[in-house]
Amino acid sequence: MRDQKDLLLAFEDFLKQHLPKVESFHPHFNTALSEMLRVGGKRFRPLLLLCVVDRLKPLLTKNAMYIALALEMMHTYSLIHDDLPSMDNADTRRGHPTLHVSYDEVTAVLVGDALNTHAFYLITNAPLSADIKVELTSILSKDAGIYGMVLGQACDCFFENKKLSFDELTFLHIHKTAKLIATSLLMGGIICELDAKSKDILYDFGLKLGLLFQIQDDIIDATLSSQEAGKPTQNDTQKNSFVNLLGLKGAQEEKKKMIDELHVACSTLDERLALFLQEIIKKYFKKD
């Protein structure tokens, strides 16, 4: 079993070896296709999937790298489209110019489309059983699509400049952010062939973790510079964020509350996995 650093290093090596590439006469498609994957990121979702597998069935960690990369591709596609002029019109992401800035909007749209579909290509060609790959495909398409991330993004864009209630805001961010994070844990559970109850517990834990992730992201937007965050900040003034609804202090209190709830929820998980997830929470979500 490996620690966070070793898992992330192994994932980065795998990513470099499996960057998508196609033969064509297009002058920059291949470069653009892999650019936002190469420049880095938190790799939070792949880490969650890999930590489940490495703690519960470490012999499958190498095989699970294909699924972890599929998750990172799906997440990266969502960022590329989120940054488009028709949505957030962001100039930087991961400390790097966004694709529509480096190239053009058509390239950015098509690269996002390509990463979305290539994620499923990776899953279907992974060295795992057919039944597991079908289940992985089903859950990712569900929570990254109209029942999850796409619906959340639609709500986020439509309700700009329109104040939502706390319940509506929570619904928005469960779908836009939390479901893909929950799915990252669940997909690890699927690879490990956990029983239905264990998978439900993992998924529920992931939804709480995903909401914490979003609350922290809203706090970062309000408190850090663009250079510190690696993306435009002070950019959510018209958005429905936890900081805008609760105020900075209220959002920080909600963050502390979520961290405490997650530490309690760890008691419902396998001890080996619980310890790893507590380390992740400590690393990524320091209390303000």
C-beta separation of 47 from 11 below 8 A: yes
Using CA atoms, how far apart are residues 199 and 115, in angstroms rounded to an integer?
Answer: 27
Tokens of 279: 């380390």
Name beta bridge partners: 93: 96
In this prediction, residues 195-208 reach a mean pLDDT of 97
Number of domains in the chain: 1
Q: How many other CB atoms are found less than 10 A from the CB of residue 279?
A: 13
Q: Quick: pLDDT tens for 54-81.
A: 999 999 999 999 999 999 999 999 999 9
Q: Domain of 166: which CATH number?
A: 1.10.600.10
pLDDT score of 9: 97
pTM for this predicted structure: 0.95
Q: Quick: pLDDT tens for 133-158.
A: 999 999 999 999 999 999 999 999 99
Q: Quick: pLDDT tens for 13-33.
A: 999 999 999 999 999 999 999
Tokens of 169: 């805001």
Report the SS3 class of residue 99.
helix
Tokens of 197: 């109850």
Alpha helix positions (H), the chain: 4-17, 29-38, 44-56, 61-82, 99-102, 105-124, 130-144, 149-158, 166-173, 179-191, 196-223, 226-229, 242-265, 271-284
Question: Does position 286 have pLDDT exceeding 80, yes or no?
Answer: no
Closest by Cα among 279, 286, 241, 222 to 259: 286
Question: Does position 236 have pLDDT exceeding 70, yes or no?
Answer: no
Using CA atoms, how far apart are residues 285 and 272, in angstroms rounded to an integer?
Answer: 20
Percent of all residues in the chain with a pLDDT value above 90, rounded to a whole number: 92
Q: Which residues constitute the domain of residue 210?
A: 4-284
